[in-house]
Structure 1
Amino acid sequence: MVNELWKREFRPHFFRVEHHKPHQFVLCQWQSQEEVHIGYFFYRWFMAAVFLISMICSICDVGRSADFGIKYKKWAIYLTNWGYTICTLQAILGASLITQQFLQQKRQGKYIPVRKRLPIGYQLYWVFHTIAVVLALGITVVYWATVYSPENHRLDVLNVLVHACNSIFMLIDFLLVAHPFRLLHCYWPFLFTGCYVFFNFVYYEFGGTDRHERSYIYPLLDWRRPRRSILATVFGLIFVLAVHCVVWVLFLLRRWVAVAMNKKSDPEASGDICQATSTSIQMDVVEC
């Protein structure tokens, strides 16, 4: 069963942004009916509001001393804030898509049209959501393990919000959504992280400084020490791939539990995780 699982996951079309069931992107994994649930509808808008409001608070350094001045103008140079922006975008886009489907559902009843190709809005949401989950978890681990220091960072609400709650929010969201998480989509967070490293290097070359006027944004990416920075970049990109693999395993567990709990969707479901997971993935196969 494991070999069959790997063969299915590495199908060429799984590399692309394609899925034959667009409605899965506006449904909760744990609902039985194939229509937008009102509770999930309000949840999506609640998360969009939480991310948007907290992002604005982060940009403006709400609750901190008034001496930041130029500091919030450098908000966009940090990977944490790149990741939080993606979290916010996916939350807003997810709320917009579910609203569109909810209104269509009100007009047409339970009928959900079948599309041969995934609409562009759904494609963007899938990409943003995948990047957001992986980056949120990765940023949280790296920040608290290598970046945070009591001497230079405040342990306040805003810091915890963008460096800890980001992962909590995205992990909860990941466990609720119904759409699949592809192992072959690892190149999305990989490229996103690579783009940030490139920006970080160019920013340094043009004399950019961090909030404290230091010539580096992160100590591990201090380009005055190129060997260490390159090594940190390589390990960072490998870490992103590792986090993506961990999230993929969580996806398999999520689908297995969902199949086991919903006998109607898979009457043959058993206690064998490989069999149940294989069945759930087979349900997602895109017919090309």
Structure 2
Amino acid sequence: MIKLILTFFSILPLRFNHLIGSTIGYFLYFTNSKSKRVVSKNIELCFPSLNQKEQKNLIKKTLIETGKGLSESGFIWFNSFKSNAKSITKTIGMEHLKSENPVILLVPHFGCWEITGRVLSLTTPVVFLYKPLRSKKQEACLISKRQQGELSMATADKKGVIKLQRALSKKDLIGILPDQDPGEEGGILAPFFNHDASTMTLLAKLARKNNAKVVMTWAERLEKGKGYRLNLKPINVLSDSGDLLEDVSLMNQAIETLVKTKPEQYLWNYKRFKSVISY
């Protein structure tokens, strides 16, 4: 059933795809959905300076973007990489991938993060870290859509980390989405929007070990289904002190700065602070 729905979304022009996604977002907003409750809690925590009306407006805009993210999944996964690339209206910063040092793509859950690796892999090999799904059937389907051509996936475990390290040694690109709770192992509490959040340490560790260049990469979702703007921007995640907490805090700060540019396009329906608060 899920595959059928995603296939339907894949054949729709992006404008109509996002129109339906917006409708899903409105439904999530006007009902007492789980997504609305989580988004509301996160917005309340991270944007306390907004008054009640402003927070409600941001919650609604966020859920609309959440709906678009759901509908566009079919559009991205069930179309070819070359077809995906046609939706990129402009790319800024490709020159930053040229480096004598290994390059790590820091890809926050912002905009259409799924399209980033697919498009970049058309010109260079990329290995992306991901967390496997519990359902083996869904996992097999997802891998078949994600792992194609020069894009390969590495599981978020010891085996996957070895795969990432090998890719860096060959100076292939690796991509990591470091802004989700990594669980008890592999994480450290670091500030994010002035609240502690369990944050992945792997990216910072790999960057320091390999003297790697870190390039923040995101695809901003344009209005009215006009496509995406792909951005690549070098950032510093390595502190002068060499302290891991300071490294991870720098990483979170960079992500926070990006999120503030268009906060509604961030994944606020994820329980980002679940290690320290109750949702």
TM-score, normalisation: structure 2: 0.25
Q: Relative contact order, CA 8 A, sep 6+: which one is greater?
A: 1
- Larger fraction in strand: 2
Query: Highest CA radius of gyration, 1 or 2?
Result: 1
